[in-house]
Structure 1
Amino acid sequence: MIEFVVDNKKCTRCGECVKDCPVGIITLEESGPELIADKVKLCLKCQHCLAICPTAAISVLGRNPADSQPLAGHLPSAEEVETLIRGRRSVRRFAPEPVDSETIGRLLRTAAHAPTGRNNLGVQFTVVEDQATMKQLREETLAGIRQAAEAERLPKGLEFFAGIVKAWDRGTDIIFRDAPHLLIVSAPKAGPTPAADGYIALCTFELMASSLGLGTMWNGFATWALVDIAPQVGAKLGIPESHELVYTMLFGEPAVQYHRTVQRDQDANIHQLVW
């Protein structure tokens, strides 16, 4: 149900909702905005109509515009966003204390606002918050890698994982970096853009985590381990069979502090196309 409701006392008939609807299913009648009956099924559930209405006159999908955050006066400056992006670092040293559940929930709910192909909203966030589970995941993953290494079944190009097992035996956790949490994103294989959806979701999560002073690390080692080396462990993550495991990310309180941005302007690979 689209539940498109217009408060005619607030509506100014400006027509912005009509102009901005990505699939053109809203029309402006004398009485106000209305859905075009034979096009309702095309709705992407993007909520653009709710967001663009200057007087908060439109409710859709049962959402009350009064529950939305007004944008005016609440957006960060360009300089603040730039510093956040330039100051982001891959953290490889984490404090052992777990992040509180309220903060993790806030991070995940915010990351769920990341754009997806055709607004399919199919990304699943599988998060390891429980510390006993995180410990078991570490141990089972390394056991799976060890088994593959000893049987000489490490995939081509991933033979170096044998050295990761040796480092584990010496007390060094190269894969999980002793982080208290792991986030795994997956998306429907049949969706229009599963890989892109997962990566964009993690980028969104990472920036929000950075703004809260948390550390993150894109974890290719864990992704390879759970998908290619020890899939029997990956099968226990609760990811739907219809989903593609896109990538994993470590996060937690950092045990390191960075004091300035790095300098990469000169490394920017920019191609100006002029026809």
Structure 2
Amino acid sequence: MLEFKVDREKCNHCGKCVADCIPRVIAMEQGYPAMAAEKEPYCYRCQHCFTICPTGAVSILGRRAEDSRLLEGNLPDPEQVETLIKGRRSVRQYLDQNLEPQLLQRLLEVAWHAPTGVNSRQVRFTVIDDKQKLAGFRAEVMAGLGRLVRENALPEAYAFFADFVRMWEEDGIDVLFRGAPHLVVASVPQTVASPMPDCIIALSYFELFAQSNGVGTVWDGLARIAINDLVPESRVRLGIPEDHLVGCAMAFGRPAVSYKRTVQHTPALIHRPL
């Protein structure tokens, strides 16, 4: 049930919710926004109508305007956002400590607001939220890779993983997870409109919000390959559904290194054909 409701005492008849409705399922009836029952299945559940209402008169999906945060006066200035983006670093040195559970949950909840194709909202975060659990999982993955090395069963394209196994077994160097206390894997049903972009966008949001909270991250393509392609039993161990595409993985935690300034890359590659 959509529970589309309009508080007539608050509604100012501006029609903004009608004009901004993407599937055009809201219409003005007797001066007030309304949604016919037969049109409800076509609603995207994007909440545009809810967020654009200037007086907080619109409610949908049981959401109440007073439970949302107002945007005006609460957004960071452009310079702050620019500094956050330019100051982002891939962290490969972590403190040996867990994040606070409340912070970890908040990072995931905020990242889940990332846009998805056709507003499918089916990105699934598989999270290892304890350093001891990740240590155990890492041992299992490295053991599986070690078996492949000793059986000469590594695919040629991933032969370089043998070096990671050697570094781990001989020197205790963790190239796959970088000694991070936590790991998040983003996956999506392969049937959605844009599975890979949905995963990448979600973890991009996760990464930036994590940095704003003093949490370091690193895009972990090596872990994704190991889990999804080389040691598939580890994917089962994580409980990732069979019908899901594993889009990307990210290791994260409190950084053991502190960066002091933004980078200075070369000018952007921009092409204007007309």
Q: In structure 2, the residue corresponding to 1:164 is in which secondary structure?
A: helix
Match of 1:182 in 2: 183
Separation in 2, partners of 1:67, 1:73: 17
Q: In structure 2, the residue corresponding to 1:105 is in which secondary structure?
A: helix
Q: In structure 1, the residue corresponding to 2:270 is in which secondary structure?
A: coil
Would you say the 8 A contact 1:155–1:228 is kept in 2? Answer: no
Query: Could you report, residue by residue, the CA deviation over 1:165-202 in whole angstroms, capped at 9, with x for unpaired residues?
Result: 11102111111111000000000100000001000000
Q: In structure 1, the residue corresponding to 2:157 is in which secondary structure?
A: coil
Q: In structure 2, the residue corresponding to 1:173 is in which secondary structure?
A: coil
Match of 1:42 in 2: 42
What are the within-5 Å matches in structure 2 for residues 102-181 of structure 1? 102-169=102-169, 170-181=171-182
Amino acid at match of 1:83: T
Structure 1 residue 31: Cα displacement: 4.3
Larger mean Cα displacement after TM superposition, 143-152 or 32-41: 32-41
Would you say the 8 A contact 1:128–1:181 is kept in 2? Answer: yes
Match of 1:2 in 2: 2
Q: In structure 2, the residue corresponding to 1:207 is in which secondary structure?
A: helix
Q: Which runs of 5+ in 2 are unaligned?
A: none
Match of 2:229 in 1: 228
Query: Could you report, residue by residue, the CA deviation over 1:83-131 in whole angstroms, capped at 9, with x for unpaired residues?
Result: 0000000000001111010000100000010001110110001110023
Amino acid at match of 1:182: L
Would you say the 8 A contact 2:44–2:118 is kept in 1? Answer: yes
Q: In structure 2, the residue corresponding to 1:183 is in which secondary structure?
A: strand
Amino acid at match of 1:219: D
Separation in 1, partners of 2:42, 2:99: 40
Cα RMSD after superposing both structures: 0.9
The count of corresponding residues between Structure 1 and Structure 2 is 273
Match of 1:101 in 2: 101
Match of 2:13 in 1: 13
Q: In structure 1, the residue corresponding to 2:62 is in which secondary structure?
A: coil
Would you say the 8 A contact 1:199–1:246 is kept in 2? Answer: yes
Matched, 1:244 2:248: no
Matched, 1:194 2:186: no
Separation in 1, partners of 2:112, 2:231: 28
Separation in 2, partners of 1:101, 1:265: 39
**TM-score calculated relative to the size of structure 2:** 0.98
Q: In structure 1, the residue corresponding to 2:156 is in which secondary structure?
A: coil
Query: Could you report, residue by residue, the CA deviation over 1:6-43 in whole angstroms, capped at 9, with x for unpaired residues?
Result: 00000001000001011000001124100033321101
Amino acid at match of 2:239: G
Separation in 2, partners of 1:122, 1:2: 18
Would you say the 8 A contact 2:122–2:189 is kept in 1? Answer: yes
Would you say the 8 A contact 2:26–2:33 is kept in 1? Answer: yes
Match of 1:216 in 2: 217
Structure 1 residue 242: Cα displacement: 1.9
Kindly report structure 1 stretches of 4+ aligned residues shifted beyond 2 Å. none
Would you say the 8 A contact 2:185–2:248 is kept in 1? Answer: yes
Amino acid at match of 1:152: N
Separation in 1, partners of 2:14, 2:178: 54
